[in-house]
Chain A
Amino acid sequence: MSHQSGHPPLKMGVDIPNGKLGMWLFLGTEIMFFTAFIGSYIVLRIGSPGWPENAETTHIRIWAGGTNTFVLICSSVAVVFALEGMRNKNFDAARKWLFVTLMLAFVFLGIKAFEYYGKFEHNILPGRIPETDAQALNFTGRDLMAATGIVDATEKLKQLESQMADLQKQGRNADALQKQIEEQQKVVEAKTPAANAARAVNDRIKAGTIALGLKHEHGEGEAATETEHAKPTAAGPTLVEEVERLHKEFPDVFGSVHVPHPIKFGNLFASCYFIMTGFHALHVLVGMALFIILLGLGSKLSSQHELFVENSGLYWHFVDLVWIFLFPLIYII
C-alpha cells in the first residue's frame, strides 16, 4: 500500500478488531435467542387470565431478584474497571477486578440456587403442579398410593411366585425361593393396612365424594374462592382432613405426602420461569469460565489479552442486560 500521496491507507470493513466484531455479531444472535423466550413469556402471560402472581403461591421472592440485580450491576462495573486496568497496562488491577467479577458471579449463582431449591422444595416444577381441584385430588391420591409402596411389593411377590411355579414345573428344589416368597409376603402384609387406608381415600376421590378442603392462606382478592373451596361438595371429611388423619395413623408412610395447592397456569409459569432463568444461569456459567481462563493466566496477563478481556466484558454486560429485563418481568410484574 502506498503512503506517498498523503491519504490515509484505504481500509475495507469495519474499524474494529475482528474478534470484537465477531463478539458483537454473536451478541446479536443472543439478543434474538433471549427475546424469543421473553417474548413468548409476555405473550403467554397476556393470553392467560389468572396467571399466578401471588408470591405465596409462586415462591418468587423480590428480595432475591433485587439482590441479584444489584450483584450483576456491581459485577458489570467490576469488569469495566478490569478493562480499564488492561488499557492502562495496570494488569494487577485488571486481575483484581476480574476476580471481583468472578466472586460476584458466584454470589449470583448462590442466590439463584437458593431460589431453585425453594422451587423444588415446593414442587413448583413444570408438569408437577395441579391446576384444578380435581387434579390436586388425583395428585394426592397417586402420591398416597406411591408412598405405601404396595404396588412394587406385590409386583415383586408375583414375580417370585411365577419363578417358583417355573422351578416346580422343572421339578427343581425351590426352598430358597420359598423363603424369599415368605419374606416378601411379610413385606406386603406390613404394607397392607396403610395401602388399604390409601385405597379408601382413592376410592372416594374416584367416586367424587371428597372435597379438597384447602384453605387459602393469603390475599383478600381470593376471599371468593375461599368460600368456594370451603363449601363441601360432598359429605364426610375433606381430603386435607383425611391426609392429616393418615399422617397421624401412619407417620412413617405418609409423612411426606401433602395436599398441593392448585395453581392455575402454574405449569406454564414454571416452564417460563425455568427456561428464562435457566438459560440466563447457563450464560453466567459461560462468563465465569471466561474469567477463570483469564485469571488462570496469572502474571502472564498482558496487553495481548486486552481484546479477550474486552470481549468477555461485552459478553458479561449482555448477561447483565438480560437480567435487567428478567428482573421486572419475573419478579415484579
Chain B
Amino acid sequence: MTEEHHDHPHVNYWRIFGYLCIFTVASVIADVMDIRRLYNLTALAAVVLLIACFKASYVMRYFMHLKFEGGWKYIILLPTTVLALAIPFALASDIGIHYYDVDVPQQNTLLEKEMQAADESADHDQHDHDHDAAEDGGGH
C-alpha cells in the first residue's frame, strides 16, 4: 500500500473523463426520454441518481485517488456518511412521509389574514354608515 501510494499509480484519466461524459449524456437522455411520463417520477429519480452515484464513485476513486489510499479513508468517510444520511431520515418521518393530512399552515395563515381583512373592511363600512347616520341625526 505504501509503495503504491508513493509510486503514484498511473491512471488513464482520459478514459475516466470519457466515462463521466457518457454518464452525463445518459442522464440528459433520461430527461429527454421523459421517463417521468413513461413510468413515474420515482423511476426517473432512481435512474438519474444511480447514474450520479456512478459518476461520484469514479471521481472519488480515480480523481481523488481514494482507490489507492490506505484504510484511513474508511475512518474519515464512513462516519460522515452515516451522519449525513441521518438528517434526511430524521426529517423524512415528519415532513416527507405524511401520516397525517397534507396541510400547509403557511397558506392557512394567509387565508385567515385575508378573511380577517375582509371582515375588518366590512366592519369599517358598517362603521362609516353608523357615522353618517349619527351625523345626520345631529352631531356626535
Contact = CB atoms under 8 A, between A and B. Distances in A.
Interface of A: 14-16, 21, 24-25, 28-29, 31-32, 35-36, 39-40, 42-44, 46-47, 49, 62, 66, 69-70, 73-74, 76-77, 80-81, 84, 87, 131-132, 134-135, 206, 208, 313-314, 317-318, 320-321, 324-325, 327-329, 331-333
Contacts of A81: 13
A76 B64 CA distance: 10
Nearest to B45: A333
A43 B95 contact: yes
A208 B118 contact: yes
A279 B14 CA distance: 29
18 contacts: A15-B2, A15-B70, A21-B72, A29-B80, A39-B87, A42-B88, A49-B102, A73-B24, A77-B17, A87-B8, A132-B110, A134-B114, A321-B56, A327-B24, A328-B27, A332-B31, A333-B48, A333-B49
A84 B63 CA distance: 11
Main secondary structure of the interface of B (DSSP, over half): helix
A66 B48 CA distance: 13
Interface residues of B, number: 56
Interface string B79-121: 1110111011001100111100010000100110010011001
B115 to A, nearest CB: 11
Contact of A131 (B48, B72, B96, B107): B107
B76 A325 contact: no
A66 B28 contact: yes
A317 B114 contact: no
A24 B76 contact: yes
Contacts of B27: 327-328, 332
A40 B41 contact: no
Contacts of A25: 76
Given A81-B13, A324-B52, A70 B24 contact: yes
Given A28-B77, A324-B55, A327-B52, A70 B21 contact: yes
Contacts of A77: 13-14, 16-17, 63
B92 to A, nearest CB: 5
B52 A325 contact: yes
A332 B102 CA distance: 25
Contacts of A321: 56, 59-60
A318 B64 CA distance: 9
B85 A35 contact: yes
Contacts of A15: 1-2, 5, 70, 72
A14 B70 contact: yes
A100 to B, nearest CB: 13
A324 B121 contact: no
A132 B107 contact: yes
Contacts of B83: 32
